[in-house]
Amino acid sequence: MKFGVIRFPGSNCDQDPFWVLSRVSKQPVTYLWHESQNLENCDVIILPGGFSYGDYLRTGAIASLSPVMGAVKKFAASGGLVLGICNGFQILCESHLLPGALLRNAGLKYVCKPVHVRVENAETPFTSACSKGEVLEIAIGHMEGNYFCDESTLEQLRRQNRVVFRYCDKQGEINAVGNPNGSLDNIAGICNEGRNVLGMMPHPERSSEAAMGGADGLRIFESLVGALATK
């Protein structure tokens, strides 16, 4: 198995998942340049957080037009696993690999802190090491993390069980107190219909070692490793 982390100009979180995959999970991983359409036979593609292309126009808008995203779209269409973290989630929405958009946080302030998210769907390659209803503590760091979509899209996400994570309080209750950015329906992460593309605002790579204050985020990477091992 092999992981690929895309590097866009302005990305500042690409080294973090690379570290977790190579040093913590002990998996082969390589960087993929935004101008290349060669995914180098990777089994999982990760779009990291950061400020791709300086977040000009809209977050993720320019990155969605980069050459590598053409290859990622084909890869996803063939069933390849794609994980978008924070800015990566924004890029997936701008690329129409996932529905909806990420708006400015409620309160218009950058938010950076550990939050709690509840696993709503444990039957994906990204959450198979988790249990449905389990509460994870994972760090966030964003200004545009307020997920929004129209009512028909929200109904479809609910009906197809495609909301993978919701913000919650420490006890797992879904409420306004546990929602750090105003996201619609407390949505913290969603997947596509094929369940092979996941976008999430929390940064699992920032919560994958005890030295970082907690390792709940490692469950996402463990799930991917397990999914590839049984593929």
* DSSP character string of 99-131: -SEEEPPTTS--EEEEEEEEES---STTTTTS-
Note the pLDDT of residue 57.
85
- Residues 224 and 156 sit within 8 Å (Cβ to Cβ): no
Question: pLDDT tens digits for 75-89?
Answer: 999 999 999 999 999
Instruction: Kindly list the catalytic residues.
Output: 86, 203, 205
pLDDT average, residue stretch 51-62? 91
**CA distance linking residue 165 with residue 168, whole number of Å:** 9
Match domain 3-229 to its CATH number in 3.40.50.880, 3.50.50.60, 3.30.360.10, 3.40.50.300. Answer: 3.40.50.880
Per-chain mean pLDDT for the chain: 97
pTM above 0.95, yes or no: yes
Write down the domain spans for the chain: 3-229
What does R_g of the chain's alpha carbons equal in angstroms? 16
Burial (CB < 10 A; 0-12, 13-18, 19+), residue 184, is: middle
